Amino acid sequence: MARPPVLPGPRPEWLKIRIPAPEVVAEVESLIREQRLVTVCEEARCPNLHECWGVHRTATFMLMGDTCTRHCGFCNVGKGRPGELDPQEPQRVAEAVARLGLRFAVVTSVNRDDLEDGGAGHFATTIQWIRTLSPPCGIEVLIPDFKGNEAALQTVLGARPDVLNHNVETVPHLYRRVRPDADYEQSLTLLLRTATWRDAHSPDLRVKSGIMVGLGETPEQVLELMADWRRSRVDIATIGQYLPPSELHLPLHRFVEPSEFDMYARKGLEMGFQRVESAPLVRSSYHAGNDFGGRSPRNQA
């Protein structure tokens, strides 16, 4: 059993969580169990689960099991050898989206470096099923780096998600400690390739990325990273407070003040981002549907 995290002092007031709409949350939980699905909301112990499920009617589904092939020090998802892909999973996710009447669905996955395409085909099939069963629903995919496999990225983009999200997670200085199996430049290349494809094929697509703060980075390093994002033509940025799931995970260096988050949001808009979600409780999928009002851009005038 994981031990509770060791925090640098008591949790400040701005990190306290309200729990709205418990009856709607119970409905979502029941359907998730019935459909044998995994959500990153639960796996990552997201502090916004009740708000997203109960108020905004958004959920983040995690494909391809609950075991990851990588060893990121911040992540609560299990590590090891994953099982076989479930070919029925994409349809079950789409059925859950339809039954819940979701306005916006986020689909992510564990890293599956054991698969030739990293699971890109599974992502594409899931998008296609959601489009079939819930045409008005907006779709964001939060994808791994596919080990730099450009063909895998093209497979996902060809299914036409509304948002392509890939998180760099932290500043390059901390990569060896935070993301030992990943490469910062490879992630930036993926984002730039996505933006290049968008400009050529689907101008409504939004390119998105996110990081956590409080792991030991400096504000100057965060701003340098944000400049790297803009050079990769990222449209939407998310910045939130890292909270260790247990004391077995990377330690928290500091609670970041709300004024610092506000600074990142202000600077980001000055840099040219279309939207910057920067606040202590922001997570990658937080307010994911804000740009679309519950409708796919392809259905808007």
The predicted-structure confidence for 108-139, as pLDDT tens digits, reads as follows: 999 999 999 999 999 999 999 999 999 999 99
Instruction: Give me 229's structure tokens.
Output: 């994002």
Residue 52 in marked binding region: yes
Residue 137 in marked binding region: no
The predicted-structure confidence for 22-55, as pLDDT tens digits, reads as follows: 555 566 666 566 666 555 554 445 554 555 555 5
Question: How many other CB atoms are there within 10 angstroms of residue 47's CB atom?
Answer: 19
Select from 75, 15, 6 the least CA-distant residue to 44.
75
Assigned domain for 154 exists: yes
The model's pTM is 0.83
Residue 46 in marked binding region: yes
Owning domain of residue 110: 19-299
How many domains is the chain built from?
A: 1
pLDDT of residue 5: 62
For residue 2, the number of C-alpha atoms closer than 13 Å in the C-beta half-sphere is 14
- List the CATH number of the domain containing 243: 3.20.20.70
Assigned domain for 10 exists: no
